[in-house]
């Protein structure tokens, strides 16, 4: 599966096509994407490969560990390594062929925006779950 930023300067490839997605409804993710949530996949780093554009990636990090990588040309959020773990966080909106993807979990539901009233599908977590347990949940849903 291939993905790229809005301007196409940054591109990447992911081995496979059946990754499960999650939506995070926290205020940081809402601000990062300018919407009601951030929809993403967590992909094993061994299945992720940059094609081009690494020199165009800028990063912003918060002391809490939140990291936002983005294209310095068009501003699109782009994948980034996940907190020293062997995974990459991949924004779902960058993926070209997303027909086989589905949302299986929602995070930070307790801090959802008041105007976010759509029903949620999949498991719901009021806060951020334990990261290794959450990754295991996403991987187990990939059947």
Q: Which pLDDT score is estimated for 65?
A: 81
Question: What pLDDT does 104 receive?
Answer: 92
| Count of domains observed in the chain | 1
The pTM of the full predicted model, rounded to 2 decimals, is 0.90
Q: Vertex 48, ends 57 and 128: CA angle to 5°?
A: 80
CATH of the domain at 98: 2.170.150.70
34 — alpha (psi -120 to 50), left (phi > 0) or beta? left
* pLDDT value of position 72: 98
Determine the distance from the C-alpha atom of residue 3 to the mean position of all C-alpha atoms in its chain, rounded to a whole number.
12
CA-CA distance, 81 to 88, in Å (whole number)?
4
Structural domain harbouring 119:
2-140
Q: Rounded distance, CA 108 to CA 119, Å? A: 15
Return d(Cα 20, Cα 81) in angstroms, integer: 17
3-state DSSP assignment of residue 61: strand
- CA 120 vs. chain centroid, Å, equals 17
Write down the pLDDT at residue 25. 94
Instruction: Report the C-alpha gap between 79 and 135 in whole angstroms.
Output: 16
**CB-based contacts of 113-122 (< 8 A; 24+ apart in sequence):** 113/25, 113/30, 113/36, 115/36, 116/25, 116/36, 116/37, 118/36, 120/23, 122/22
| pLDDT at res. 133 | 85
Helices then strands, counting H and E runs in the chain, come out as: 2, 12
In this prediction, the residues of the chain whose per-residue pLDDT falls under 50 are 143
């Amino acid at each position: 599966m291939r993905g790229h930023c809005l301007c196409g300067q940054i591109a990447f490839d992911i081995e496979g096509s059946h990754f499960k997605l999650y939506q995070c409804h926290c205020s940081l993710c809402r601000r990062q994407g300018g919407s009601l949530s951030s929809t993403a996949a967590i992909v094993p780093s061994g299945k992720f490969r940059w094609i081009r554009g690494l020199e165009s990636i800028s990063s912003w990090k918060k002391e809490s560990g939140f990291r936002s990588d983005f294209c310095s040309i068009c501003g699109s959020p782009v994948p980034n390594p996940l907190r020293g773990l062997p995974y990459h966080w991949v924004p779902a909106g960058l993926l070209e062929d997303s027909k086989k993807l589905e949302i299986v979990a929602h995070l930070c539901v307790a801090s959802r925006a008041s105007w976010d009233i759509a029903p949620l599908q999949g498991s719901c977590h009021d806060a951020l779950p334990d990261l290794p347990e959450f990754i295991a949940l996403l991987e187990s849903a990939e059947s």
